Amino acid sequence: MSRSQRKLTYADFLLFPDDGKRHELIDGVHYVTPSPSLTHQELLGRLHLAIGNFLVPRRHLGRVVLSPFDVVMSNHDVVEPDLLFIAGDQQTMITEANVQGPPALVVEILSPGSRRRDQGIKRKLFDEKGVREYWMVDPKGRRVSICRRAGDGTFPLVDTPTLAWDGALTTPLLPGWSLPLRYLFAEI
């Protein structure tokens, strides 16, 4: 592999500029995403509040973290999901600087600049690295695609609740938690 084709590492990642953009490494390849839109941030804020408020009296279930926060999956795979949930049994993965390993839940808000990557190589990465659940929130389609780790180890798409069907988000990772999509997508 030539010098220009070498896989970048976490050490390289730490040298990227702090320019307000999202920098990620997937299989040693550098990806840059522009700052998010207002709609993106509103959806992200609503999800964070809903999950965070649910967890206040249930701290034993885990912690929810907003981006930007590095998730180091390997020396060549460092991502900054929009939102992540680290389950109660994963707390040793959390450091002050990052999460070392696959969170239980990863959430990405799809945008024109990241949609293909989020639905393709990121979904594949999260499958390979052992993420338990992955939500792809689609503001345009007003739906959420949910991939969940099955008992046999596969990572299939298991549900796609939509606003049109009066769907709600739920997850076995947060027993008793539910968020109707009419609240998530209200006035978006």
72 forms beta bridges with: 78, 100
Q: Is the pLDDT of residue 5 over 80?
A: no
pTM assigned to the model: 0.92
Query: What is the distance between the alpha carbons of residues 30 and 48, in angstroms, rounded to a whole number?
Result: 27
pLDDT tens profile 6-55: 899 999 999 998 887 889 999 999 999 888 899 999 999 999 999 999 99
Q: Is the pLDDT of residue 4 over 70?
A: no
Spatial neighbors of 52 by CB under 8 A, at least 6 apart, are: 64
Average pLDDT of 130-154? 95
Residue (of 101, 117, 182) closest to 144 by Cα position: 182
Kindly indicate the confidence band of residue 2, based on its pLDDT and cuts at 50, 70 and 90.
very low
- 3-state SS record for the chain: CCHHHCCCCHHHHCCCCCCCCEEEEECCEEEEECCCCHHHHHHHHHHHHHHHHHHHHHHHHEEEEECCCEEEEECCEEECCCEEEEEHHHHHHECCCEEECCCCEEEEECCCCCHHHHHCHHHHHHHHHCCCEEEEEECCCCEEEEEECCCCCCCCEEECCECCCCCEEECCCCCCCEEEHHHHCCCC
pLDDT tens profile 86-134: 999 999 999 999 999 999 999 999 998 888 999 999 999 999 999 999 9
| CA dihedral sign, ordered 10, 14, 15, 16 | positive
Q: Is the pLDDT of residue 163 over 80?
A: no
pLDDT tens profile 62-90: 999 999 899 999 999 999 999 999 999 99
For residues 186 and 47, is the Cβ–Cβ distance under 8 A?
Answer: no
pLDDT at site 70: 94
pLDDT at site 151: 94
Q: Is the pLDDT of residue 1 over 70?
A: no
Options 3.40.50.2300, 3.90.1570.10, 2.160.10.10, 3.40.80.10; CATH for 38-70+80-184 is 3.90.1570.10
For residues 48 and 64, is the Cβ–Cβ distance under 8 A?
Answer: yes
